Structure 1
Amino acid sequence: MSSTWLITGATSGFGRLVAERALATGAHVIAVGRRRDRLADLAAAVPDNKITTIPLDITVADAEQVLADAVREVGRLDVLVNNAGYGLFGSIEETGADLARAIFETNVLANLAVLRATLPALRASRGRIVQLSSLLGQFSWPASSLYSASKGAVDLFSEGLALDLAPTGVKVTVLEPGVFGTDFAASAHIVAPNEVYTPTVGKFLTDFSALPPEAFGDPEQVADAIMAVVEMEEPPLRVAVGADAVEGIRSSLRSRLAELDRWESFSREPAVESV
């Protein structure tokens, strides 16, 4: 029996690549995305009985029910690639409440809604879950505070999810890509800094926009990683993809461990004074 996959953000970037690969293996793909035209383009190359397209903004109130109904209609679910999300870059002070709310609604709350919609079927199949985080789910850059916080939330609740699901046979992997050549940067929301934040946020944004094409990894590498971990009997909880992700996360962990060691004295019990 062929497997069934549900992929959010299937119209572009990593989601589109993984959808194409899953379809090439003979899987049935439930492809979810906001762009109806791109979903139609994806579906045009495969038989109708191998793809279910769902034009959907996963932040809308009934998204969870729509997805649950789609899974029920298809009849099973073996793999979830929870990929949809977007970027927000700017200082905390200059990012308004509406923008802050939107990044968490998309990257965190909608991610949870997708999980609630699919977990009953995934438990039944002892399936696989791939949660798309980022290298910035492990640390922050200047300008990335709220985006990093949203991806850090995905990283940590996915770890808890893996622990909760351990007896069921469902396996969870958090993918932490570095900087890759998708349309992510072009679609990200940028809050331009004022003069206070020009030396930090402004410099970072300027430097990032000046990166040459070779600084961006081949997104096929991320698709390769997703396809590989889904096939593993015991997949890793976290996978950093891209040399920049590996080195950035390693450097952050080393720095945090050094800081933990340096200030460990705060956690020691004070000496008891004799009377």
Structure 2
Amino acid sequence: MASTWLITGATSGFGRLVTERALATGAHVIAVGRRRDRLAELVEQAPAGQVTTVELDLTAPDAQAVLADTVRAAGGLDVLVNNAGYGLFGSVEQISAEEARAIIDTNVLANLTVLRATLPALRASQGRVLQTSSLIGQFAWPSSGLYAASKGAVELISEALAHELTPTGVKVTIIEPGTFGTEFATNLQVVLPNDVYAPTVGKFLNDFSALPPEAFGDPNAVADAIMTVSTLEEPPLRLAVGADAVENIRASLRSRLAELDRWESLSLTPARQAA
């Protein structure tokens, strides 16, 4: 029997590539996105009846009900690729309350909306949850504070969820892509730094914009990794994809361990220090 997938952000980037691969396996895909023209393209390109499109803003008040109804109509769900989101770069101080609220609404709260709508069906099928994060869900660069915070929230929510779902048979994996050549880089929102943050935020943004094309990996590698993980009997909780993701996450973890070791004595309680 063909599996059923629900993929958010299905009209571009990693979501589109995974959608195409899932369809190629014969899966029924519930493709969720906001662009009607691109959803129509998916229907045109897929075998008849293999795609159910949902044109939806995941921050809308009725999003959970719409998704839950769609999953019920499909007869269940085997794999969730919780992929929708966008990037926001700028100094922590200069990002407005409205901009901060918007990225948390989309990258975190909408992610939770999708989970609430799909987890009952995923428990019934002992299915898979694939949460798209980023290498900077593990650490932050100058300018990435709010975006990294949104992805860090997804990481910890997903870690807790994995523990909570252990008895049900549902597996959770967090995908942490590095820098890849998708529409993300061209569509992200940027708050340009003032003079105070020009040496840090400004330098980082300038250096990033000057990266050559070969610095951006082939996004097909991420889609392939997602497809592979979706079939593993014991998938990892976290999967860094791309050499830059592995290198930078490893460096961050080593730095944090070194700092923990360096300041361990200061972390001791007064009673232990007196002893």
TM-score normalized by structure 1? 0.98
* Partner Cα separation in structure 2 for residue 51 and residue 69 of structure 1: 16
- 1:69 aligned partner: 69
Q: CA offset at residue 266 of structure 1?
A: 1.4
1:122 paired to 2:105? no
Q: CA offset at residue 114 of structure 1?
A: 0.1
Equivalent residues in 2 for 1:31-180, closer than 5 Å: 31-180=31-180
- 1:184 aligned partner: 184
* Partner Cα separation in structure 2 for residue 138 and residue 152 of structure 1: 6
* Partner Cα separation in structure 2 for residue 22 and residue 157 of structure 1: 26
Q: CA offset at residue 5 of structure 1?
A: 0.1
Q: CA offset at residue 141 of structure 1?
A: 0.6
Q: CA offset at residue 242 of structure 1?
A: 0.2
1:272 paired to 2:274? yes
* Partner Cα separation in structure 2 for residue 48 and residue 84 of structure 1: 25
TM-score normalized by structure 2? 0.98
Q: CA offset at residue 6 of structure 1?
A: 0.1
1:254 paired to 2:254? yes
What amino acid sits opposite 2:274 in the alignment? V
- 2:243 aligned partner: 243
* Partner Cα separation in structure 2 for residue 272 and residue 182 of structure 1: 56
* Partner Cα separation in structure 2 for residue 126 and residue 28 of structure 1: 17
* Per-residue Cα deviation, 1:105-129 (whole angstroms, up to 9, x for no partner): 0000000000000000000000001
- 1:225 aligned partner: 225
What amino acid sits opposite 2:95 in the alignment? T
* Per-residue Cα deviation, 1:87-145 (whole angstroms, up to 9, x for no partner): 00000111100000001000000000000000000000000010000000000011000
Unaligned runs of 5+ in 2: none
* Partner Cα separation in structure 1 for residue 12 and residue 153 of structure 2: 23
Gap change, CA 1:261 and 1:31, over 3 Å in 2: same
Gap change, CA 1:211 and 1:272, over 3 Å in 2: closer
* Per-residue Cα deviation, 1:181-224 (whole angstroms, up to 9, x for no partner): 00001111100111000000011111101100000000000001
What amino acid sits opposite 1:8 in the alignment? T
2:274 aligned counterpart, secondary structure? coil
- 2:200 aligned partner: 200
Q: CA offset at residue 47 of structure 1?
A: 2.6
1:24 paired to 2:24? yes
* Partner Cα separation in structure 1 for residue 28 and residue 72 of structure 2: 14
* Partner Cα separation in structure 2 for residue 267 and residue 42 of structure 1: 55
* Partner Cα separation in structure 2 for residue 208 and residue 261 of structure 1: 32
* Partner Cα separation in structure 2 for residue 72 and residue 90 of structure 1: 41
Q: CA offset at residue 267 of structure 1?
A: 2.2
* Partner Cα separation in structure 1 for residue 12 and residue 269 of structure 2: 54
Q: CA offset at residue 57 of structure 1?
A: 1.0
Q: CA offset at residue 269 of structure 1?
A: 3.6
Aligned residues: 273
* Partner Cα separation in structure 2 for residue 76 and residue 48 of structure 1: 19
Q: CA offset at residue 268 of structure 1?
A: 2.2
Unaligned runs of 5+ in 1: none
Moved runs in structure 1, 4+ residues, more than 6 A?
none
Deviates more, 1:39-48 or 1:17-26: 39-48
